[in-house]
Structure 1
Amino acid sequence: MLLVAALFFAVFLYFFLKKNRTKNDKSFPQPPGNILLGHILYITSTTHILDVAKKNFSYGNTVTLRFGPDICPIRKGLVTQDYNLIQFILNSRKLIKKSENYIFLKKWLGNGLLISDGDYWKRHRKILTPAFHFEILKNFVEVFEAAGDVLMEKLQKYDEVATVDLDILITLYTLDVICETAMGTKINAQSGQNIAYVESVRNMCKTVIERAFSPIKVFDQLYWLTGDYYKQQKALKILHDDVLSISELREEVDTFMFEGHDTTASGICFALYCLADHPEVQEKVFQEQKEIFEDWKNPETTYSDLQKMKYLECVLKETLRLYPSVPVIGRYTTEEMNFDGYVIPKNTNIVIFIYGLHRNPDYFPEPEKFKPERFENFNNSLPFSYIPFSAGPRNCIGQKFAMLEMKSVISKIVRQFEIKPTVPRHEVQLSPETVLKSGNGVKVTLKKRD
């Protein structure tokens, strides 16, 4: 009897969903999915996300995905790597609300700049923007360099060791930098203090993404029954401990602490990984350093010196093309939108697949190849084809800060070490855990330069 009832309910739900599909479902292709759970079961690990996304895009550059029935907190929406739709979304001053999947970050980041919207977001964005003026950024170079010197000391012991995993070393460096620059506080993460913070960030990022793809964890009513809930609570206690109690300020501090170190660490790690794989590129970076600095090993680096590193900047841009620190971003429609003959209903989640956009051969010939030279004369006639820091009103407030920090530490490492691939070569397992990571670390070999 129970089986009959279950089958009846399944059939009823299928036809109910089919009947109530919006015009949008008919307009944009929908890959085959489970009748009840849609596409939510197709991703069993964060390392599967990119491969599943590529398969879905075989149906079109914009597809409709469904994550469970309509009672699911994150129901259905569009996933796109279509240039015109991305331009339409990111240029819009109406489409500034983040998609519903960001809700899982709310207990951590509250109503900080990453998640907030409307007048609240506009007010905070206006208040915080002057903090990234280039005159202020100049003063941060000393912090980049001092933290980088500590990192160099740490890396000395890995000279000609078969493998060094850059992930944790670089993350601790960027954590030291963001705390001293944004908060004026030295936390000495590279000296072994506050490592629990880094691990908590990592756990939060992973559990947040895994929760979005779980038919059980996606519901608050069921989430507390899982082990991830208690792992999250433990991480939140560490992340919120000893932070300023004024709620709005704490939320922005939490946001800056997360976005200001984890995204930058990702970019640095993947850049060094690419340099290890491409010795001819690394040699050009090294020669540029020697041209800029007379004492090329241990110079006193200034803001002006970092601005001269044009080829290294191309390397970083190409790295962020192949390995964007934030590979997907999301928006949410608060009203019905019309785009190129399509109707996008109100309350639609739209996911922008930056990772796929950046590997489109229409915009980047030989897209899988690492070719920094493509940015030496980059044609910006299609500005939304390359958006590692997003674009439009909600672009990344700290992108200039991030580029300066990455230049500072990579130039220092290249001057001190030759970076080589491991033997056998380490293959990264890309895992979008809010920030793009490698599920098996980012491993290279270092050889001290004479």
Structure 2
Amino acid sequence: MLVLLAVIAVSVSLAVLIYQRFANALYYAGKMGGPKAYPLIGNADRFRGKLPEGFLLELQNMIAEWGKCFRVWIGTNLIVFVTDAQKVEILLSSQKMLDKSIQYDFLRPWLGDGLLTSTGRKWHSRRKIITPTFHFKILEQFVEIFDQQSTIFVKQLASKASSGETFDIFPKVTLCALDVICESAMGTKVNAQVNSESEYVRAVKEMAAIVLQRSYNILARLDLTFKFTKYRKMQDHALKVLHDYTDSVIRTRRQELSKANQNDDKENALGIRRKVAFLDMLLQTTANGQPLTDLEIREEVDTFMFEGHDTTTSAISYLMDILAKHPDIQQKVYEEICVVFGEDLSKPATLSMLNDLKYLDLVIKETLRLYPSVPMYGRKMLENHEIDGVVFPAGADVLVVPFFMGRDPDYFDNPLEFRPERFAQETSADKANPYRYVPFSAGPRNCIGQKFAVAEIKSLVSKTVRYYELLPPEHEQPHTFISELVLRPERGIPLRIKRRV
């Protein structure tokens, strides 16, 4: 009887707490603008049949109607969309509002509690451990991988240059990025560019689609009903592919390191220093005096694979599209590359050379303004927070949308005009809020791999432009976008290429 009473008391307490939390969210949400919500479903009907292709268009319509800060309900979950730079600055720079939004929970089956999804002490500990792995001396070793895979990439394009046909560059960049990240993260070669039927690539795409559905599809969103949807079976299959591969590589590499003397292992028979993969550094890292477990290592390797694969693919593909459509900008990029690399097309890139590509750096920034690889990211409110006069209630997911911030005429004059020089004009005295441009996020949880990503982009694009002139497709069409975990072109990135020499 006492046990029953205790269970009832706990259940009542939880029910009261949930009711109070929902009532609190309902009260403050009522003070925000947003579309009319209906019982049980909220505003889920606004997205029905529009995922993933029509999501950004629907969001654009809502921003036009409700402004730079508004709320929607997906079932009983409150989501606040923010494109106000002042509010974004307070949110992202906060040392308290660090927990990721519920959308990131849908990545946990794949990434576990890696750096992207972890919170609190665990996040602080992982961030401290992983930050040194992106030191410039280690980045120089990754640049060797960028250059080698870029060389394979330009060879794979040779037939397209000979035929002059229009082709989609996006899947080819995807395979190159996968080769780069696999070798950088795990020290293994999957040879995706040569063997394009990669099960790993398909598994990544499946997980991206599932996360989007779980974000805005009520049945897929709830754990209780998710197991009865088709997405659960898709997820199980994708996770087996992703985790089996990573686990296998970790086991093999741990055995190799245990057999070899550490110093001897770093050099081959010719005395050439072996490149150290991200995985190798994790295997030799300790936390609180203890080595990381295989599961902890898998979480971080999978996170690195996820964050460093699709994101760079998106950025590189849109950048090549821009160069094809803006021959004057492409010519400036090419002339700068010639100055830095000289006449030898096969000359390997170094980190110093890539850093000297200053104009290309401006082109990358301008590309990410219009086509941010991650079109939105979010935070979870653990308690009520007043941000710039608006109370964001406990339990709310706050989503920052850099895709629309970069296209906002309040932040950038003639925002749809591609003008790299706009970033050269920025100085420390610039009064514009720097948080209007946040493709890599900002603050304590900014993208730890930003320098890695930019170096990879520069390496592949500079190598491609050295060999080929990028040309627009024979029949151009305006871009339409798919907003999944990263920004994707609905119809690919069609272009043509012509060999320069």
Q: Which residue of 1 aligns with 2:182?
A: 179
Contact 2:21-2:394 at 8 Å conserved across structures: no
The answer as to 2:32 corresponding to 1:25 is no
Contact 1:100-1:332 at 8 Å conserved across structures: yes
**Given residue 399 of structure 1, which amino acid in structure 2 is its aligned partner?**
Q
TM-score, length-scaled by structure 1: 0.91
User: Which of 429, 440, 456 is matched with 1:405 structurally?
Assistant: 456
Contact 1:428-1:440 at 8 Å conserved across structures: yes
The answer as to 2:99 corresponding to 1:51 is no
Please list the CA deviations of residues 151-189 of structure 1 after superposition, one character each: whole Å capped at 9, or x if unmatched.
111010111432221122111111111122222222222
**Given residue 445 of structure 2, which amino acid in structure 1 is its aligned partner?**
R
CA distance in 2, matches of 1:22, 1:41: 19
The answer as to 2:65 corresponding to 1:63 is no
CA distance in 2, matches of 1:300, 1:217: 48
Please list the CA deviations of residues 278-332 of structure 1 after superposition, one character each: whole Å capped at 9, or x if unmatched.
1111111111112222215332322211111111111111111100000100001
TM-score, length-scaled by structure 2: 0.82
CA distance in 1, matches of 2:369, 2:343: 32
Contact 1:288-1:311 at 8 Å conserved across structures: yes
CA distance in 2, matches of 1:41, 1:248: 39
Q: Which residue of 2 aligns with 1:241?
A: 244
Task: State the 1:35 CA deviation.
Answer: 4.3
Contact 2:25-2:395 at 8 Å conserved across structures: no
- Give the stretch that moved more between structures: 268-277 or 215-224: 215-224
Contact 2:479-2:489 at 8 Å conserved across structures: yes
User: Which of 86, 89, 93 is matched with 2:88 structurally?
Assistant: 86
How many residue pairs end up in the alignment?
430
Q: Which residue of 2 aligns with 1:349?
A: 397
CA distance in 1, matches of 2:295, 2:196: 25
CA distance in 1, matches of 2:36, 2:80: 14
CA distance in 1, matches of 2:32, 2:480: 30
User: Which of 113, 119, 122 is matched with 1:120 structurally?
Assistant: 122
**Aligned structure 1 segments of 4 or more residues deviating by more than 6 angstroms:** 16-20
Query: Is there any run of 5+ residues in structure 2 with no aligned partner, and where?
Result: 1-19, 251-293
**Given residue 26 of structure 2, which amino acid in structure 1 is its aligned partner?**
T
Q: Which residue of 1 aligns with 2:219?
A: 216
Please list the CA deviations of residues 259-293 of structure 1 after superposition, one character each: whole Å capped at 9, or x if unmatched.
11111111000100111111111111111112222
**Given residue 445 of structure 1, which amino acid in structure 2 is its aligned partner?**
R
CA distance in 2, matches of 1:347, 1:131: 34
Please list the CA deviations of residues 195-246 of structure 1 after superposition, one character each: whole Å capped at 9, or x if unmatched.
1111110111012102221122112222232222212211111111132372
Contact 2:169-2:494 at 8 Å conserved across structures: yes
Please list the CA deviations of residues 83-132 of structure 1 after superposition, one character each: whole Å capped at 9, or x if unmatched.
11101100101000000111111101111111111000000000000000
CA distance in 2, matches of 1:379, 1:55: 34
Contact 1:23-1:343 at 8 Å conserved across structures: no
- RMSD of equivalent CA atoms: 1.9
Identity %: 39
Query: Is there any run of 5+ residues in structure 1 with no aligned partner, and where?
Result: 1-15
Task: State the 1:52 CA deviation.
Answer: 1.1
* Pair 235,217 (structure 1): closer, same or farther in 2 beyond 3 Å: same
Q: Which has the larger radius of gyration?
A: 2
Contact 1:176-1:187 at 8 Å conserved across structures: yes
Task: State the 1:399 CA deviation.
Answer: 0.2
- Give the stretch that moved more between structures: 100-109 or 192-201: 192-201
* Pair 41,296 (structure 1): closer, same or farther in 2 beyond 3 Å: farther
Q: Which residue of 2 aligns with 1:424?
A: 475
